[in-house]
Each structure stands twice: as structure tokens, then as C-alpha cells.
Amino acid sequence: MTDNSTAAGIPTIDPATLDGTAPEATASAHPEIDWATLGFSYIRTDLRYLAHWKDGAWQPGQLTADNVLHISEGSTALHYGQQCFEGLKAYRAKDGTVNLFRPDMNAARMRRSCDRLLMPQVTDEMFIDACQQVVAANLRFLPPYGTGGSLYLRPFVIGVGDNIGVRTAPEFIFAVFCLPVGPYFKGGLSPVNFVVSEYDRAAPNGTGAAKVGGNYAASLMPNRDAHQQGFGDCIYLDPETHTKIEEVGSANFFAITHEGRFVTPKSPSILASITKLSLLDLARDRLGLEAVEGDVFIDDLSAYKEAGACGTAAVITPIGGIQYKDDFHVFYSETEVGPVTRRLYQELTGVQYGDVEAPAGWIVKVQER
């Protein structure tokens, strides 16, 4: 779907400037993007990376201006959901350099997703190089430092080629495209209310831990229902006992106990959020908190004074309250952000934008070409 409309605060970009041959990559910002109103919607950028897997190996990838994929009608990605994807961001730092946040973690998670769906692995080197190339080729779309925006990268692998039976595809495509996105909270960090869904997004021994499209197809209706009821998103309980919080539609969950312990659910059917893993380290090493992965029982929310959702897109979304059946549980405040959540947000975004020293290996600088 192409969406260059002004709906939901999306900037209007004259398609004429985006069609045809891509302009030279430049460090200057795109003149037609209003960084202040940038949301999270598709914007066609200049170049994307594409590589084919044929005859048992990945062929050399290259950048292309074409944002349309031409694939067989028999592609397994279309019929049997043989596909996986990733999401990570590039940030413009104050000194003008460009930071990729933990791309090695996304590369490793995509290898695990590929394994789960019988797709060929993309090496970490190929993954990070493709991300580097795409950012470097679209620098004019990178939101300037101080706007709170970033360049969102969407790597994916899909099964393609002529096929009809339920089996792994004869060929694959690995691609990476990017688009500029605005800060999650336009008016500053503010709490959002969530509702517990009656649906499951994944089965106990299913594909919940892999970042594959089927999990997201399952979450479309619960997400729509949550929005229609006035909530930011829904929370899923563990599919086996429906007693423990699993995660949000596109983010992991964390909570802070009254004693100041950082707790985030541990489950084989949730996505291993890179933001969550980073917060575990930051909570422990920078905030001096005890930080653990464990059970968060839905009947025991009063044990926690703060809660939040965390992910690449959500960053840290403070949770004001959770609706569970007829009960609406309010955390620190339905309208104000708890102090621990705020400090975690500052530390995380500080590392991502280069304002706070990053733990070793967390920031990979984009080589401007």
C-alpha cells in the first residue's frame, strides 16, 4: 500500500520528487518533510536493498529505486505465511553522525525467525551491511537531531517462486526499506490505557517467539477492537493458563514493583524484544534496580506501582491503567508518568541519540558513503 497522504499527520511529499532515479545521497534534510508532524506511516524513500536466494545461495544484493516487488502468484509468502521481518531504527546524533541501535540483535533474531520457518539465514554481516547501505542512501529522510524522529528500517525475508504445495519455497527475497518516523509521543511522554484481550496472539508452542507475519495477522482484530473501545492497544495473556501477562500487540511489557524491582514477563511465546533486553540491562546497571524476567500475574497488578510497554516503535509507552474484565486497574497515575519509567525512557533514548554513553557494542555508526 502506498500512503503519501496527509492523513494522521503524515507529510505531503510530491511523488514527482520520489519517482525515477534517486538523487545523490546527501546529509541535508528533506525539504518537504515537516519533521514536527511526522507520524508512523508509509513514505516512499529513495532506495531500498534487495537480494535473491537462488540455487542454494544468496546472490549479491543491490539498491533499487523500485518499491514494487514482482513475485510469483504461487509464492509461499502469499499463501502459507512463509515470511519474517525486523524493525530497527537509525538516529541522527548531536554531532551529526548516525547511530544504528543494536542491529546485531535484530540480525540474530531474524536468523532465528528464518530457522523457524525453514528459510535460509541471512548472515549478520549481510544484514548489517544492507541496513548501512539503506540508511546511507536515504540520509535526506533521516530526521534531524532534536526533532525526536528517526529512520525506521524494515528488513524482511519472503518465500517466493512458482509453487503450490505446502512446502518451503524454491526461492527467497531478502529486502530492507526505510522510512522516517516521528516521535511516539508528540506532546511528551504520556500514559496510555490498555485492555486485556480475550484472544491469543500465539500458541504455547507456536511461532510467538518468531517475528513472523502470522502472529500479526492474528493480532489485527484484537487491536482493532481495543482501539474501538478507546484503548491504546490490547495486552495478551499466556495462551496456556490465561493468568499471566505475555505482551502487547507490538511491544513487550514491564512493571515496577513497590520495592523498585523491574519485572518483565518470561515466556517462550513472546517476541524477545531488543528494547526489553536493553531495559533489563539499563535498569540494573544504570538505575541500580533489581531487574528480572518472571511472571506477572493479571490478578496481582496491585504489586506494581508502574507499568509500561516497550519496543522499537513504542519506545517506552507508560501504561496508565489496564482494563481486565470489569476491573480497571490504575498504576502510578492514569495521567502522569511514574519516575522509574521516566528515567528508563531518558536513559534509553539518551543512548539511542548518543547523548548518554552507550554500553559497549550497542551503537553501530552508519558509514556515510
Ligand X SMILES: Cc1ncc(COP(=O)(O)O)c(C=O)c1O
- Please state the closest distance from residue 261 (CB atom) to ligand X, in A: 21
Cell of 233: 492497544
Dump the DSSP string for 264-330: EE--TTS---HHHHHHHHHHHHTS---EEEE--BGGGGGGEEEEEEEETTTEEEEEEEEEETTEEEE
Closest CB to ligand X among 149 and 161? 149
How far apart (Å, rounded) are the C-alpha atoms in residues 79 and 301? 41
- Residue among 197, 250, 341, 349 that touches ligand X (CB under 6 A): 250
Contact segment (CB under 6 A) with ligand X among 36-44, 191-199, 243-251, 337-345 equals 243-251
Site for ligand X (CB under 6 A): how many residues? Answer: 12
Cα–Cα distances in angstroms (integers) from residue 365 to residues 124, 131, 355, 361, in the given order: 15, 11, 14, 10
Query: Considering the rule CB under 6 A, would residue 275 count as an interface residue with ligand X?
Result: yes
By the rule CB under 6 A, 245 interacts with ligand X: no
Segment 283 to 322, residues that bind ligand X, using CB under 6 A: 311-312
**Closest distance of CB 202 from ligand X, Å:** 9
Number of H helices, E strands in the chain: 6, 18
Judged by CB under 6 A, the stretch of 38-46, 65-73, 172-180, 272-280 that binds ligand X is: 272-280
Residue 181 interacts with ligand X (CB under 6 A)?
A: no
CB of 318 to ligand X, least distance (A): 16
Cα distances (angstroms) measured from residue 125 to each of 61, 118, 129, 270, 292:
12, 20, 6, 26, 31
Q: Looking at 10, 251, 289, 348, which residue binds ligand X (CB under 6 A)?
A: 251
Query: Which residue of 99, 252, 267, 317 would you call a contact of ligand X, by CB under 6 A?
Result: 252
Q: How far is the CB of 334 from ligand X (least distance, A)?
A: 24
Question: Would you call 211 a catalytic residue per the annotation?
Answer: yes
CB 93 within 8 A of CB 354: yes
With CA atoms as reference, report the closest residue to 175 among 254, 289, 59. Answer: 59
Helix 339-352 with 274-285: angle, nearest 10 deg:
110
Site string for ligand X, 77-96 (x = CB under 6 A): ----------x---------
If binding is defined by CB under 6 A, does position 274 make contact with ligand X?
yes
For ligand X, which is the closer residue by CB, 274 or 301? 274
Q: What is the number of other CB atoms lying within 10 angstroms of the CB of residue 359?
A: 13
Choosing from 211, 244, 305, 325, which is the catalytic residue?
A: 211
List phi, psi (to 5°) of 25. -65, 140
Task: Report angle CA 212, 230, 332 to the nearest 5 degrees.
Answer: 90
**Within its chain, how far is the Cα of 323 from the centroid?**
24
Q: Which stretch binds ligand X (CB under 6 A): 93-101, 148-156, 220-228, 271-279?
A: 271-279
User: Can residue 273 be called a binding residue for ligand X (CB under 6 A)?
Assistant: yes
3-state secondary structure of 156: strand
Active site residues per annotation: 211
Please report, as ranges, the residues that interact with ligand X according to CB under 6 A.
Answer: 87, 247, 250-252, 271, 273-276, 311-312
